[in-house]
Amino acid sequence: MQFQLQALSAQNLVETHLLEACDEAEARRQAEANQLTVLTIAVANPTKTFGQGNRFSLVLFSQELLALLEAGLSLVECIEALQEKEANPLAASVLAGLFKALREGERFSAALAQQPVIFPPLYIGIVQAAEGTSELPQALSRYLDYQIRLDEIRSRLISAAIYPSILITVGGGVALFLLGFVVPRFAAVYQGTGRPMPMLSQLLLDWGQFVAHNSAAVGLGLLAGLTFAGWQLRLLMRSGAWRSWLARVPGIGERMRILELSRLYLTLGMLLEGGIPISTALGMVSGVAAPTTRTHLAAAAIAIREGEMMSDAFDRNALSTPISLRMLRVGERSGQMGAMLTRSANFYESETTRWIERFTKTFEPLLMTAIGLVIGGIVILLYMPIFDLAGSL
């Protein structure tokens, strides 16, 4: 793992250093050994920590660890074997930290908790619950199934967005080419004819003359507009505000809510099936929920701790639907709440998949038609003066 630190050198100069270490304490010891006084220390690029390339794949780590455990190796032997085969120095340093903690007698969950940037609380929690029952392979298998299903949902959403994005990009590029290159040249041709033109054609040609006389300003304005739009989109994606924005779109908002509930039920079901108490599981799930859902979860958790049934608390805090509410009540009567939450997630995943397929089959032709109308309209408006001239001959 890489740490970036600011420190005072022996000459009392403030310097910035990058150090390779398995944890923060080790990074401080290295700095002190180099006669540096640490001022600030932080993980360098925490989203690109280690693994294949510069990114750690928790799924790959879990798959390899599960394979070794099922082969009969002890946990310490598994981590040692993974460390020995690892060629990436960053990955090797993290595995070295795990191996060192296990050799010193730490529990596996405590060793994982020493590197919170790498291992999220959700992962640490299911490992901690499995340690009490000696079911670490089952917990890892459950986590892998959970991640694979989340990746499938994400890949469906991305696949559904790829083709419309390509259409919008290509159609927008063609429209910009016509407006910025073709229209100004037609405007120059028509400028000296002195014939009256249709109003829309005249507006389009006036735009062409403006672009021809102010091409640099128009180009800079377009570039600034695209840059600003990209920056705003990036802010929306980082802050998660795109969720609330989509939730206000008619027809899509309810589907976003169902998708969020499906993810919530899937995560909560995995934790309950792993033996984690409901109050602890609700606290762990809040870290992966949207801000609005997190607020409702906090209120539901308080109600559950005060003795209210989980189904009633979820219903009162808008965390259920009529179907999931009935499944939750069945889970409360049978004592299989984790399994019922997972079944609810399965039901809504299937429903969401069907809705995505119907939406893309309807939206893509409509989008192609709209782009064709825009481009065709520009071309027709350009040629209408020619048709008018030909009709007068």
pLDDT at 47: 40
Residues 345 and 318 in one domain: yes
Residues 222 and 94 in one domain: no
Which of 136, 161, 193 finishes a domain? 136
What are the two backbone dihedrals, phi and then psi, of residue 104, each rounded to the nearest 5 degrees? -85, 5
pLDDT at 46: 43
Query: Measured between alpha carbons, how far is 20 from 150 in angstroms, rounded to an integer?
Result: 32
Residues 37 and 66 in one domain: no
Residues 21 and 127 in one domain: no
Tens digits of pLDDT across the chain (393 residues): 556 677 777 666 666 666 656 567 767 777 777 777 777 777 655 444 444 444 567 888 888 888 888 888 888 888 888 888 877 777 777 788 888 888 888 888 888 888 877 888 888 888 888 876 677 888 888 888 888 877 887 787 788 788 888 888 888 888 888 877 777 777 766 666 666 667 777 787 777 778 777 878 878 888 888 888 888 777 766 665 666 666 677 767 777 788 888 888 888 888 888 778 888 888 888 767 777 788 888 888 898 888 888 889 998 888 888 888 898 899 888 888 888 888 888 888 888 888 888 888 888 888 889 888 988 888 888 777 777 666 655
Residues 209 and 145 in one domain: yes
Residues 110 and 156 in one domain: no
Residue 392 belongs to a domain: no
What would the two tokens of residue 207 be? 């735009």
Nearest to 77 by CA among 108, 42, 47, 117: 108
Provide the domain count of the chain: 3
Residue 118 belongs to a domain: yes
Query: Measured between alpha carbons, how far is 27 from 11 in angstroms, rounded to an integer?
Result: 21
Residues 101 and 153 in one domain: no
Neighbours of 48 (CB within 10 A): 13
The 3-class SS string of the chain reads CEEEEEEECCCCCEEEEEEECCCHHHHHHHHHHCCCEEEEEEECCCCCCCCCCCCCCHHHHHHHHHHHHHCCCCHHHHHHHHHHHCCCHHHHHHHHHHHHHHHCCCCHHHHHHCCCCCCCHHHHHHHHHHHCCCCHHHHHHHHHHHHHHHHHHHHHHHHHHHHHHHHHHHHHHHHHHHHHHHHHHHHHHHCCCCCCCCHHHHHHHHHHHHHHHCHHHHHHHHHHHHHHHHHHHHHHHHHCHHHHHHHCCCCCHHHHHHHHHHHHHHHHHHHHHCCCCHHHHHHHHHHHCCHHHHHHHHHHHHHHHCCCCHHHHHHHCCCCCHHHHHHHHHHHHHCCHHHHHHHHHHHHHHHHHHHHHHHHHHHHHHHHHHHHHHHHHHHHHHHHHHHHHHHHC
pLDDT at 206: 78
Residues 225 and 247 in one domain: yes
Whether 78 and 68 have beta carbons less than 8 Å apart is answered as yes
Residue 264 belongs to a domain: yes
Where in the sequence is the domain holding 107, given as residue range(s)? 58-136
pLDDT at 252: 75
What would the two tokens of residue 54 be? 């510069």
Q: Residue written as tokens 């608390």?
A: 313
Query: Measured between alpha carbons, how far is 188 from 292 in angstroms, rounded to an integer?
Result: 56
Which of 136, 151, 166 finishes a domain? 136
What would the two tokens of residue 6 be? 């600011």
Question: Which residues contact residue 156 at a Cβ distance below 8 angstroms, ignoring those fewer than 6 apart?
Answer: 353, 356
pLDDT at 194: 63
Q: How far apart are the first and last CA of the chain?
A: 79
